[in-house]
Amino acid sequence: MKAFHFFSYALILLLLTALKPTEACEYAGSNITFVKTQTEKAISKSTLNLTRYHAYKALNAIEKSKKQLKDCGCDYASIHIEESEYLLKRAIKVTTIEDAKGLLKRVLTNTDDSLSALEKHHEHVSSSAKNDLALNNTDDRDEGRSTVKPKHTFLKNKIDTALEKYRASLAKVVETIDCKESKAFAERIYQECEKELLTPNLSEGRKYYNLQTQKITAEALEKIGDCR
């Protein structure tokens, strides 16, 4: 019995030690801060070429941050950065500075959300660790009961909140942009989600994000119709 308690205390100590921000998270945060800075510069420029130049620099920084984000393990930050990457690619391709800046302002919101998620990452890990310990120390009579880990519920709620912004943005695209163009845009997103869902070892967060994005996009495509 004493050995069991000693093991439990050692496990708790190990978990608490692991809650310190990792170097990967710090590096990711540094890169995302650079993404934010370059996005702000892109928005401040008066010519499309200069706006694109800084948007490219932001996009390159996202590419460099992917490994650190993966090693950090913060799904919340990764979700916002994935959307930022997509928005930056669109901002680089548009033909007017007004459209580019509109997209870049959404990138800024996502980078802020990503940085906030990284700052709170240790809280998410702490919550998960405590709940794992509680579940692992449940009496035998509780076996078989349905339990949903708060970490997963919190992640889904976070994703749902982010996707409501996407739903609103997509609805605006459908309402204000030419039918064929908005349909092509929605179809690209749908196909990207489809491709992502085929990726091996996809995390639960990214799987849920892509499934829900695909669902919202499918609803928009149904609303768009055949553009006759």
Instruction: Tokens for 108, please give them.
Output: 């800024």
Q: Return the pLDDT at 207.
A: 80
Least reliable range by pLDDT among 8-17, 116-125, 170-179: 8-17
Q: At residue 103, does pLDDT exceed 60?
A: yes
Neighbour tally for 180: CB within 10 Å: 10
pLDDT confidence band for 1 (50 / 70 / 90): very low
30 or 38: which leads in pLDDT: 38
The answer to whether the beta carbons of residues 33 and 116 sit under 8 Å apart is no
Give the mean pLDDT of 183-206. Answer: 81
Residue whose token pair is 């093991």: 7
Give the mean pLDDT of 73-82. Answer: 82
Q: Return the pLDDT at 123.
A: 52
Q: Return the pLDDT at 8.
A: 37
Q: At residue 43, does pLDDT exceed 90?
A: yes
State pLDDT tens for residues 132-142.
434 344 444 44
The answer to whether the beta carbons of residues 218 and 190 sit under 8 Å apart is yes
Question: What b-and-e string marks burial along 89-115, b requiring 16 or more CB atoms within 10 Å of the CB?
Answer: ebbbebeebeebbbbbebbbebbebbb
Rg (CA), the chain: 21
d(CA 74, CA 31): 14
State pLDDT tens for residues 141-176.
444 444 444 556 777 887 888 888 888 888 888 888
**What is the percentage of the chain residues whose pLDDT exceeds 90?**
21
Least reliable range by pLDDT among 21-30, 46-55, 73-82, 117-126: 117-126
Domain boundaries along the sequence of the chain? 21-130+149-224
State pLDDT tens for residues 210-221.
888 888 998 999
